[in-house]
Structure 1
Amino acid sequence: MRLLLSACALISLSACSQHPTTMQTSLTPPEFNETRFRQDIQSLSSDKFEGRAPTTQGEVLTLDYLTKAFAAAGLEGANQGSYLQAVPMVSYTASETQQISLGGIVMHHRTDIVLGSRHDNQQVDIKDAPLVFVGYGVNAPEYDWNDYHGLDMRGKIAVMLVNDPGFALPESGKFNGKAMTYYGRWSYKFEEASRQGALGAIIIHDTKPASYPWSVVENSWTGAQQDLVFDKTTQDGRVTVEGWLTMDKAKELFNAAGLSLATLSDRAASSPINVELEKTANITFTNKAEYANSYNVVATLPGSSASDEHLLFTAHWDHIGVDPNKEGDQIYNGALDNASGTAGILEIARQFSLSAKNGAPLKRSVTFIATTGEEQGLLGSRYYAANPLYPLEKTVAVFNLDSTNIYGRTSDYTIVGKGKSELETYLTTAASAQQRIAVSESRPESGGFFRSDHFSFAKYGVPAVFAGGGNEPADEVSKTYRSSMKEKMKGCYHNVCDEYRADWDLSGALQDLGVYYQAAQTLGNSDAWPGYYPGTEFHSLRPAKTTTD
């Protein structure tokens, strides 16, 4: 996509890219230590770690835990011997007491609306700002689509739908059908409203196209909201206020304006649209900005003969932290998301290190990055990609772990955004060795490819994958367990019930670690440089030599 690729033209390794026709298929996966894997998940997600929010005591404990674990495994600190890479952050905290009215309708903080400001402005005081419905809030020249056409958004607040037009009309051929494009992501919508000069941006929440309920918005977008200090130029041009509005209150607002939200939504899916609501917004709240470094943890296992070429494993160590405004349990432990992924890269690191000690090191180096700030917008991975400790043109691939499989063994293997790069071929082969079939995610409309740390590297043309789990239980026992555990974990995404459970069947997670390990082992001992397929967003940055045909 045009907006993603403009800064990334520095990479072009098409001459080095080749199809992995000689991939090894008889590699023996290591014996992952389930007890140790469980202990890492349980420890990192314990109440002691306070939900692992960046720049808190929970971070201090997490960094200590991870650096000691990588050191014990025999990996080197990647930052001139240190395991830590400082990530300059600013935390914005909007007050819980807010006065908000849209179109004369009083909106209650958390219940009806969630608003914040990513500016060091101390006070937000907006009076009589015109509200404009801008459809999906998309400006995509390659799709001949501009919801802002003819608008001067200065001093105005954009109100928009979640996801992109392809979700509403998947058979129309618009965008990517049911599969969300980056234009459907909330981060893009706020960025585009900012580029248009808008005063504010409000997304209408709808559970199905958002792929999560209102509780996730309330839990994730309240309290301290981190951003990167090095993005100050972008911050200066950012909308003054941004957030989410419930569907019920949006309908009420549009009715008050004499408009039908349902009718306008149908029009917005068919063609670009913008409509002045002839209503205004009044928004007042205090806002606090605090500056502090958070840290990525970066550890490296040097390769034997091509040590300047790196394969990366990423997993975000952070979660939401503690919400003192909640009654009862206030700690977002983040066991599945993402203590499990962090524990996964620790276990893979140990196995590669053990293999090297036993005389079988990889030709290429393997670097493990436990990132900060993923929950706040992929902050740690964005910072590393812009300030890499090892050059991106020497970075072969990225394997990302985010919420491992706690639902038992499966006969299939999910590759999120399947069909983007040759890197997937290595996963497909490794999964096949487990008698598993590689498939696309079941809900591409959720935009999973754009929602985790691998995306920060894809934007620079580095082949990156996010994969694991599946939808088909391996047997009847797994099927029964899966159904039961799915019910137990229902509603726990970004909620306080995401806690470690001793009855988790982690056999599926260990399967997936094996796929990643074998794929990295094969690629780490080869001279291949995977690339992106024609027709994908990142093909021009590092083109594949093969096609998907």
Structure 2
Amino acid sequence: MKKTIVLTLITSAILTGCNSEEKHQTQAAIPAEKVNTTADFTASYNSINKEQLAQHIKVLASDEFEGRAPSSKGEQLTLDYLTKQLTAIGFKPGNGDSFLQAVPMVSIEASPEMSLSIGDKEYQYGHDMVMGSSRISDFEQLKDSELVFVGYGVNAPEYNWNDYEGLDVKGKTVVMLVNDPGFATKDPAVFNGEAMTYYGRWTYKYEEASRQGAEGAIIVHETAPASYNWSVVEHSWSGPQFGFVRDDLNKGRVAVEGWVNVDVASEIFDKAGLNFEQAKTQAAKGSYHVDMGDLTASVTVNNTVKESVSYNFIATLPGRTKADEHILYSAHWDHLGKDTSLEGDQVYNGAVDNASGTGALIEVAEAFAKLPVTPERSITIMAVTAEEQGLLGSKFYAANPIIPAAKTVANINMDALGVNGRSSDVSVYGLGQSELDNFLTAAAKKQGRTIAGDPRPAAGIYYRSDHFAFANIGIPALYAKSGKTPVDEATKALRAELKETLGKCYHNLCDEYSEQWDLSGAVEDMQAFFEIGYELSNENVWPQWSKTSEFKR
């Protein structure tokens, strides 16, 4: 029997949460013996250490855990490990009497035995292109589907931009650029300038192509605007791709969606009598689309479809006086699993991404557990599934929250912590979104650090990890990590030594634990995150979104 997930729309009335009177009520006096002293806080703060973090990473990113793919042996080992660790320090099940929230999903794996035919040439899977389907079916295809270039594939009324204006793409395959027009122009008056908006995300582009009625959707990969190289596409979009089971079996999605590399794009534009670079330039000037001559695309996608259940892990340290109000720490426990078709190393260990963040959850939780007096508000630890598949675990939780959004004070998300030493600054992705920045600024100042903005605004990082799902239901969400300025020459030298390796290992087999790493910067980040949660857990403060944040409404 098919399981159906109902993604409930949560109204703004619910999201507003406590009224201003409730938010700013006067705190009752607490007996002195029920307040943690400065020494108590400091002891817990200092208990966060790199030796324990390293041990957690080594276990979670070991070959035994097989890359922690959803619905795998690696998932079960990960959930068992989290249960053991959080139970040992006194955290309670966060979902009634269970540590788990079931997330029904479907796995769709496209056979790599396919080729994409455009014009008189066959393009090969992996090297030239990666194609697949989000439809829950064994077979999908494009057959002589007309190609249309739709610029950035954006329909954004608030920016007076619609690449589909006056265009009927039913039965056709749209070809589009990655990122959004602001990246190309660097003009802050165009979208958000170099800082990516959600319109630049691949998820949005496929969704919009589907809404427009297209039969296929192809994104042109370029390293700079995508913020990752082609190998990330090759490894991340091949193998099992997870999604939700819906009533229409995802028939509302385009039949085939995928990527081509920039060399292939240049070639097919030439075949269409167009110049790729000129088309890019035109696409950045305003709403734009153009037929690609008589070119058509054909490809057959044979899928292996499996329904499964994966799990979010949720543990809570109940608050002493306000147990229904929660500080939520999150990280995704999943990675890409293993590829048995490879010779030699087959495991995508995901040490940085995101054994580091999962281990950090345990460390921060333990710091709270060591406080002699339990905080007034509850501390909740959430390790979510299927982040690598499009934030599925956090999206499911957001649609089916165990803790009402109105009772969730804040979310602090930890994803891919720094492993290359201490920084004199803290990079805040989405700086200026909420008042949580103020709490981080104060915590960082005590460490002798300053706050910096997003070092890679074009990458749209704020829309690419699990805090985004929580922000979408109104929960102020913070995502930050050690910045780009090393504290000393030794750290600068280490970063130069590790730079190439860390860059090429993102979503690759080599993302493994290394004894070369210096986790001292990650420790400072965790300590700052602990302090923010500590302050919020003993206050009546409810951090607010800034007036300019798109999440305020």
Instruction: Pick the TM interval, shorter chain.
Output: over 0.9
Alignment of 1:126-165 (within 5 A): 126-165=142-181
1:464 maps to which residue? Answer: 477
> Are 1:334 and 2:338 matched, yes or no?
no
1:218 maps to which residue? Answer: 234
Query: Given that residues 120 and 288 in structure 1 are in contact (C-alpha distance below 8 angstroms), is that contact kept between their aligned partners in structure 2?
Result: no
Q: AA paired with 2:160?
A: D
Task: Pick from 230, 245, 248 the counterpart of residue 260 of structure 2.
Answer: 245
**Displacement of 1:442:** 1.1
Alignment of 1:135-534 (within 5 A): 135-171=151-187, 173-229=189-245, 231-233=246-248, 235-278=250-293, 279-355=295-371, 358=372, 360-534=373-547
Query: Given that residues 18 and 406 in structure 2 are in contact (C-alpha distance below 8 angstroms), is that contact kept between their aligned partners in structure 1?
Result: no
Cα gap change, 1:380/1:192 in structure 2, threshold over 3 Å: closer, same or farther?
A: same
Q: AA paired with 1:157?
A: T
Aligned-pair Cα RMSD in Å:
2.0
Query: Given that residues 8 and 459 in structure 1 are in contact (C-alpha distance below 8 angstroms), is that contact kept between their aligned partners in structure 2?
Result: no
State the distance in 2 between where 1:492 and 1:269 align. Answer: 31
State the distance in 2 between where 1:232 and 1:118 align. Answer: 14
- Say which SS state the counterpart of residue 151 (structure 1) adopts: coil
Over residues 376-431 of structure 1, what are the superposed CA-to-partner deviations in whole Å (9 max), with x where a residue is unaligned?
00011111111111111111110000011101011001111111111111111111
1:547 maps to which residue? Answer: none
Query: Given that residues 327 and 409 in structure 2 are in contact (C-alpha distance below 8 angstroms), is that contact kept between their aligned partners in structure 1?
Result: yes
> Are 1:12 and 2:16 matched, yes or no?
yes
Query: Given that residues 99 and 285 in structure 1 are in contact (C-alpha distance below 8 angstroms), is that contact kept between their aligned partners in structure 2?
Result: no
Query: Given that residues 141 and 256 in structure 2 are in contact (C-alpha distance below 8 angstroms), is that contact kept between their aligned partners in structure 1?
Result: no
Over residues 203-241 of structure 1, what are the superposed CA-to-partner deviations in whole Å (9 max), with x where a residue is unaligned?
000000000000000000000000122x54582311111
State the distance in 2 between where 1:65 and 1:362 align. Answer: 25
TM-score (norm 1): 0.93
2:3 maps to which residue? Answer: none
State the distance in 1 between where 2:480 and 2:503 align. Answer: 21
Query: Given that residues 391 and 465 in structure 2 are in contact (C-alpha distance below 8 angstroms), is that contact kept between their aligned partners in structure 1?
Result: yes
State the distance in 2 between where 1:85 and 1:172 align. Answer: 41
1:39 maps to which residue? Answer: 55
State the distance in 1 between where 2:463 and 2:516 align. Answer: 31
State the distance in 2 between where 1:120 and 1:225 align. Answer: 11
Q: AA paired with 1:473?
A: P
Q: AA paired with 2:430?
A: G
Deviates most, 65-74 or 117-126: 117-126
State the distance in 2 between where 1:388 and 1:219 align. Answer: 32
- Say which SS state the counterpart of residue 51 (structure 1) adopts: coil
- Say which SS state the counterpart of residue 207 (structure 2) adopts: helix
2:33 maps to which residue? Answer: none
State the distance in 2 between where 1:419 and 1:206 align. Answer: 29
1:74 maps to which residue? Answer: 90
Structure 2: 5+ residue stretches without partners: 1-6, 28-35
State the distance in 2 between where 1:6 and 1:295 align. Answer: 22
Residue identity (%) = 49
Q: AA paired with 1:11?
A: L
Q: AA paired with 1:246?
A: N
Cα gap change, 1:6/1:277 in structure 2, threshold over 3 Å: closer, same or farther?
A: farther
State the distance in 1 between where 2:313 and 2:419 align. Answer: 25
Q: How many residues align?
A: 530
**Displacement of 1:81:** 1.3
Alignment of 1:23-102 (within 5 A): 28=42, 29-102=45-118
Structure 1: 5+ residue stretches without partners: 541-549
- Say which SS state the counterpart of residue 30 (structure 1) adopts: helix
Query: Given that residues 17 and 405 in structure 2 are in contact (C-alpha distance below 8 angstroms), is that contact kept between their aligned partners in structure 1?
Result: no
**Displacement of 1:8:** 4.7
**Displacement of 1:349:** 0.5
**Displacement of 1:100:** 1.6
Over residues 17-36 of structure 1, what are the superposed CA-to-partner deviations in whole Å (9 max), with x where a residue is unaligned?
989xx9x9976333213322
Query: Given that residues 312 and 385 in structure 2 are in contact (C-alpha distance below 8 angstroms), is that contact kept between their aligned partners in structure 1?
Result: yes
Cα gap change, 1:5/1:141 in structure 2, threshold over 3 Å: closer, same or farther?
A: farther
Q: AA paired with 1:255?
A: D
- Say which SS state the counterpart of residue 514 (structure 2) adopts: coil
- Say which SS state the counterpart of residue 292 (structure 1) adopts: strand
Over residues 345-398 of structure 1, what are the superposed CA-to-partner deviations in whole Å (9 max), with x where a residue is unaligned?
00100110111xx2x211111111111000000011111111111111111110
Cα gap change, 1:338/1:8 in structure 2, threshold over 3 Å: closer, same or farther?
A: farther
**Displacement of 1:172:** 5.7
Query: Given that residues 348 and 513 in structure 1 are in contact (C-alpha distance below 8 angstroms), is that contact kept between their aligned partners in structure 2?
Result: yes
Query: Given that residues 61 and 349 in structure 2 are in contact (C-alpha distance below 8 angstroms), is that contact kept between their aligned partners in structure 1?
Result: yes
Q: AA paired with 1:238?
A: R
Query: Given that residues 91 and 316 in structure 2 are in contact (C-alpha distance below 8 angstroms), is that contact kept between their aligned partners in structure 1?
Result: yes
State the distance in 1 between where 2:97 and 2:51 align. Answer: 30
Query: Given that residues 210 and 446 in structure 1 are in contact (C-alpha distance below 8 angstroms), is that contact kept between their aligned partners in structure 2?
Result: yes
- Say which SS state the counterpart of residue 127 (structure 1) adopts: strand
Q: AA paired with 2:502?
A: M
State the distance in 2 between where 1:36 and 1:256 align. Answer: 57
**Displacement of 1:242:** 0.6
Runs of 4+ in 1 over 4 A off after TM superposition: 4-8, 24-27, 231-234
